[in-house]
Chains A and B, each alone.
Chain A
Amino acid sequence: GENVEQHPSTLSVQEGDSAVIKCTYSDSASNYFPWYKQELGKRPQLIIDIRSNVGEKKDQRIAVTLNKTAKHFSLHITETQPEDSAVYFCAASIGGGFKTIFGAGTRLFVKA
């Protein structure tokens, strides 16, 4: 089955700096890669997603890149703000009706 690895587990940056979180997946059939932000005790919130027919997607300060050949995908957050502090999860799935497998999570701290 699918296995998603995520690094780093913890990331601390200064406000205004960029943050990068990297993930790899194992199942070449996976074609949908969402990123979630989760605050303590809350449900995961989708912040950006990318499909396998796209190499890069950007939404304001957030961007995601996908390398299908290497089975790598990354989240880039620019101009970080203290409110970006949370746990971020990458995930992979084959399609909407199929199960989503999560990475282990990255705890991001943005220091003011």
Chain B
Amino acid sequence: GAVVSQHPSWVICKSGTSVKIECRSLDFQATTMFWYRQFPKQSLMLMATSNEGSKATYEQGVEKDKFLINHASLTLSTLTVTSAHPEDSSFYICSAPAGGTGNEQFFGPGTRLTVL
């Protein structure tokens, strides 16, 4: 089946620093990827749609200047949390549809971000 990887799996950083999270589709190409944030005991909240070769589409209430998304190739999307603060601490998960007319989304394993 289709495989999506994320790196790093966890990261701890100091307040005010920036953190980059990578999402890769390993065995398929993804012109679209999605980024979600999940706080403890809550649902997955869609942050943005990452589009290869064009600007990301952000959901209402998500600051585009704080959460920078780059989708430079058909297999890689990156999410950079800029000037991170403790309230940005969360589980970040990406997903990608595995092409064709299939609907199924394949999820990465997630990245646990802790901002001190």
Residues of A within 8 A of B (CB): 1, 32, 34, 41-44, 46, 49, 51, 89, 93, 95-97, 99-105
Contact = CB atoms under 8 A, between A and B. Distances in A.
Contact of B104 (A41, A43, A46, A102): A46
Interface residues of B, number: 28
Contacts of B85: none
B44 A41 contact: no
A43 B46 contact: no
Given A46-B105, A51-B103, A96-B97, 6 more contacts: A42-B109, A43-B108, A97-B31, A99-B49, A101-B46, A102-B44
A43 B43 contact: no
B112 interface: yes
A105 B105 contact: no
A96 B44 contact: no
Contacts of B99: 96
B42 A105 contact: yes
Contacts, number: 59
15 contacts: A32-B103, A34-B103, A42-B109, A43-B108, A43-B110, A46-B105, A89-B43, A95-B101, A96-B102, A99-B46, A99-B49, A100-B105, A102-B43, A104-B43, A105-B42
B110 A96 contact: no
A105 B36 CA distance: 15
B32 interface: yes
Contact of B112 (A41, A46, A89, A105): A41
B49 to A, nearest CB: 6
Which residue, of A34, A46, A99, A102, has the highest number of chain B Cβ atoms within 10 A?
A: A99
Contacts of B103: 32, 34, 49, 51, 93, 95-96
B67 interface: no
Interface string B30-46: 01101010000011111
Contacts of B97: 96-97
A96 B101 CA distance: 7
B22 to A, nearest CB: 15
